[in-house]
Structure 1
């Protein structure tokens, strides 16, 4: 075969099977129709020969591309790379490829990129950009587009999602601060247009009590937004001794503002984050935060989408993963 590309016929001949059997074994959607040992023998033959399936031709024949569109709002946010890695790891095992786009939290950009991915005939979408009210996803769902939201949910019944148990994570954070003796708690909430911001705020108010917990909503899940909100909070509620932030970047902004005002963390004000993003343990002080299993979240989202694509009778469901408080140096009893 020197000088030419290996074909499906070559793989079938090397594995000692019919061409149709080799085709089924190398197609993620039909692999389960072939006995395990036979499929393994065919896969070994394909690897040895260097055979690469023509997914474009398969897509033209079956209206499937074995590609999945993945939309994230901000790749600079450290929580999204582990999610994307989890998506890729699980898609790889099913023979799908992830096409990743970054929307920069811009609705017009998101719509344009969604349309571009659709024009490339992706089989479905995994969306980390979901807002509670999301016209684009509502339109896509109405057209029968296979989609799963990850890390966030949308107010759209029947849309599969993978999220963390944010309410329980917030309850753990507030309980920890109470055990330390804090009574003047505050929450720097994430944007209320997204489910994570709304769920975490609701849980904070339930656990801390509206009369005991000051709240300032941040304009985004960013360090500058966190610093601006912390400044507003500390001006209005200078007696605050503990802050629960909507995410770790907001917490980082709060730490910066505390330092700028000459307040020490945790001696003057304790700070708790949310997500346990990479390097949170290297903050000054190391950040107490709620750990969310982002890699597992991505894997589960990919699994839900594969089920939608390969099992016509699959029931849409939401997977809720446990969150866990990680205690570090940013929290201590109040003076």
Structure 2
């Protein structure tokens, strides 16, 4: 039979893995009697763990949320995953200081084998340069939005379309559904009651108001998949497909190895020395033609005709710009 201290840790680990356990199941897993399980449950309660008993054919126990945070027990994989997440959070965010402090505390109580693995991890979350206009989000805003989402309550908020014009805010009424992260920024996905459509709002530009409004029945998201819907919206589609609305195919006089690192989510196929086929998408035909033109190489358009037309319009535009007299 395990020693009491070791058995208590095993019992705590079991209680953390699922919502509820019957007394008989716990006794079988720990190889003890149900009476010993009851005694160990009482010991864990004395240590501050909020364990409640529930009624049923055999009765059982579950670990509930309490008024304070008791000690937690993690296996090796969970401890490493937690350390990675904390290192990622400890860069350029409003919770950086708390994340760094939590990581230090966790490292101190880790066994040497895990501490060595954690010390080998050196992670720095680098925000994309284009996010330089993004403000950090106050934790209270995350809390207010998450609470409204969980309670399914309508939300009144002030929203600045441009962070630089923060005084020009619009009042919006929304049914909040999800908080999502996209390329280094946080967004609120919500049904806009005034515009009768789905909208995404940058969280760093939101000022939520309290109290919240009436409860609502969540609408069904087109496609039913949040990542796919967000990807579709940011690609200029209607939310039902993740494909770009404009997709074309060209041949470039460049080796595939020179194109692939800059093709983003495009498909690059090698056709021979110094030539490759590129299949790429964009939110507009003009945008697609301009993106392909950045490769600074001869271009042969395979299709569709809309892409040829976009190149023709850009050629006219660029030719006019080249003829413009530069003031001396």
TM-score normalized with structure 2 length: 0.24
* Greater strand share, structure number: 2
TM-score normalized with structure 1 length: 0.24
Question: Which entry has the higher C-alpha Rg, 1 or 2?
Answer: 2
Higher normalized contact order (CA 8 Å, seq sep 6+, divided by chain length): 1
